[in-house]
Structure 1
Amino acid sequence: MLDALKPWGESHEVRAADQDLATRLDLPGPDEPAAGPALLLAALRRSGAAGGELVLPVPGDVRGLGGANPFARLALRTGEAAVLREAGLGLVPQNVAEGVVRWTVFELADELPPAEHLPIAEAEHGMSSAMREAASTLIDLDIAKHRPGVRDEIAKTVSSRPQPPWPQDVPQRPLRILQRASEVEAILWVATDDAPGGALSASATRARTEALRPLFDSVRAARRASVAEMVRVLSDRAGKH
């Protein structure tokens, strides 16, 4: 499991968000030197963590975070977090230096909303539908212009993302959808990055943003659903051994 973290950073460090939680989990506190991820894994096992949920909050969509609290604020700032309900913990990764990822561990508040379940088929269909609608809208608005080298830009964006070594028995459908979501997100970032000399007017930029927002939302939903399905399948298999 520790090897699976390497694609995201050469080094990973862990701290608890406050001293009380640090004492309970036997982790470094916020003002102490950080520890390695092995210490975190041991703490999670002792806390009864049996699975987790991926949270991908953005302004206007903070599903899975609950109320305004330190965990929610940091998760919103970074755009990603993991919720471990059985253990009552939340983890937020931050890139704190070149090749260094810091994981901050929070105690979850009682007001955390119930877990949302989005069937994997519904997530895949939603992303495909959003792609068609966004493409049609951009064409109607006459802002879907051809851009030389765009395929290379998209390929470069996709290849720059971490390529984790997935287990051999990982379910293939959610993996395929997860990889497709990364490709779609790369297209979105290229689509919203104006080429030099080709900047849109303010009104066209707003129209483009509104057209693409549902697609950004569907990509996040597809990622959450894919990871949830992977966790469910692999947890079920582990429980049978």
Structure 2
Amino acid sequence: MGYPSMSLASWAKSWLAGEASPDDLVDALHEWAPLHVVRASDPVVAGRVGIEWPDPEIDGITVLIKTIRAGAGGTAGGLRLILPAPGDVRGLPPGTGFASAALAAGEGVLLGTGGAAGTGIVPTPSGADVLEWSCFDTPIPLAVDDETLGDIEYRLRAAVRDAADVVASVHRTAIANRDFDVRGAIEDELAELHHHRLPESLSPRARRVLDSADQLAAILTVAKTASVSSPTSLSANTIQDETLRPLWDAIRLARMAAVNSGDR
């Protein structure tokens, strides 16, 4: 699980569905940082979430939980994970402070009903021990679910096949550079991703999708590292952003679909 917003969204959905406790959500968030600070973008939002303006709430995890319950209307369906990237801003309310912050962070959570006003939350690390959550007043876009989780799983498998050339390039780098342990590097990346637990309430299919996304993400991360450490060994600049971007897009979409799906 590569994003604090994923932990927040997946565990909050499980809690709101009655399948996890608030303590489970708190424990999942504490795996990211021991201290959680909540900030409001303006006085209106500060009043909504129950903090003083303009001061942040230093020990804000209780405020965060209350904000989630109120903003989501007490239901798992009122919460949505967003993982935007440059060139792919689907799911973001255009021209909003939340959209700008979420795009800069690469993640965020929307609370509310599609087509109505709601709350957006964006995490930002502040040192090794602090995670700041900024709350925004924002319209909630209507969800567009054109694909089922089964469709997403199929597409992710295709993306893994498309990564075959990337994997081959990484292995060529390993042969050229005996100090580069490809298998060990991928295992280390996976261990880091799996450090953050998933709720038991997730369906087997959602877990498969997230596991496949993590495996592909680990491969691509190691591939990028290999291209930096030994770029001349990668024929025709195989490991380039334009090559990897569609694969990273597939990972992001798979993670959003698995967390946001009602298939639990």
| TM-score normalised according to structure 1 size | 0.82
**2:128 equivalent to 1:98:** yes
**2:143 equivalent to 1:115:** yes
Query: Contact 1:124–1:177 (CA<8 Å) still a contact in 2?
Result: yes
Secondary structure of residue in 2 paired with 1:58:
coil
How far 1:64 moved relative to its partner? 0.9
**2:111 equivalent to 1:72:** no
**Which residue of 2 is the match for residue 161 of structure 1?**
193
**2:66 equivalent to 1:42:** yes
How far 1:113 moved relative to its partner? 3.2
| One-letter code aligned to 1:95 | P
Q: Residues 162, 40 of structure 1: CA spacing in aligned structure 2 closer, same or farther, 3 A cutoff?
A: same
Alpha-carbon distance in 2 for matches of 1:65, 1:183: 27
| One-letter code aligned to 1:29 | W
Query: Contact 2:38–2:57 (CA<8 Å) still a contact in 1?
Result: no
| One-letter code aligned to 1:19 | P
Alpha-carbon distance in 2 for matches of 1:31, 1:172: 43
| One-letter code aligned to 2:191 | S
Query: Contact 2:170–2:223 (CA<8 Å) still a contact in 1?
Result: no
Secondary structure of residue in 2 paired with 1:8:
coil
Q: How well do the aligned residues superpose, as a CA RMSD in angstroms?
A: 2.7
Secondary structure of residue in 1 paired with 2:260:
helix
How far 1:92 moved relative to its partner? 0.4
142-151 or 15-24, larger mean C-alpha shift: 142-151
| One-letter code aligned to 2:99 | A
Alpha-carbon distance in 2 for matches of 1:193, 1:122: 31
Cα deviation code 1:13-71 (max 9, x no counterpart): 21211112101331243434434211222233334252311111111011111212211
* Unmatched segments (≥5 aa) in structure 2: 1-24, 175-179
Query: Contact 1:178–1:226 (CA<8 Å) still a contact in 2?
Result: yes
Count of residue pairs the alignment pairs up: 228
**Which residue of 2 is the match for residue 132 of structure 1?**
161
Secondary structure of residue in 2 paired with 1:2:
helix
How far 1:190 moved relative to its partner? 1.0
| One-letter code aligned to 1:152 | G
Q: Residues 205, 28 of structure 1: CA spacing in aligned structure 2 closer, same or farther, 3 A cutoff?
A: farther
Alpha-carbon distance in 2 for matches of 1:161, 1:28: 35
| One-letter code aligned to 1:43 | T
Alpha-carbon distance in 1 for matches of 2:49, 2:160: 44
**2:80 equivalent to 1:53:** yes
**2:34 equivalent to 1:10:** yes
Secondary structure of residue in 2 paired with 1:108:
strand
How far 1:146 moved relative to its partner? 4.1
Q: Residues 192, 30 of structure 1: CA spacing in aligned structure 2 closer, same or farther, 3 A cutoff?
A: farther
How far 1:202 moved relative to its partner? 11
**2:231 equivalent to 1:199:** yes
| One-letter code aligned to 2:70 | R
**2:51 equivalent to 1:22:** no
Alpha-carbon distance in 2 for matches of 1:25, 1:176: 35
Alpha-carbon distance in 2 for matches of 1:203, 1:35: 51
| TM-score normalised according to structure 2 size | 0.76
**2:110 equivalent to 1:83:** yes
**Which residue of 1 is the match for residue 243 of structure 2?**
211
Q: Residues 197, 41 of structure 1: CA spacing in aligned structure 2 closer, same or farther, 3 A cutoff?
A: closer
Query: Contact 1:14–1:28 (CA<8 Å) still a contact in 2?
Result: no
Query: Contact 2:40–2:53 (CA<8 Å) still a contact in 1?
Result: yes
Alpha-carbon distance in 2 for matches of 1:29, 1:43: 16
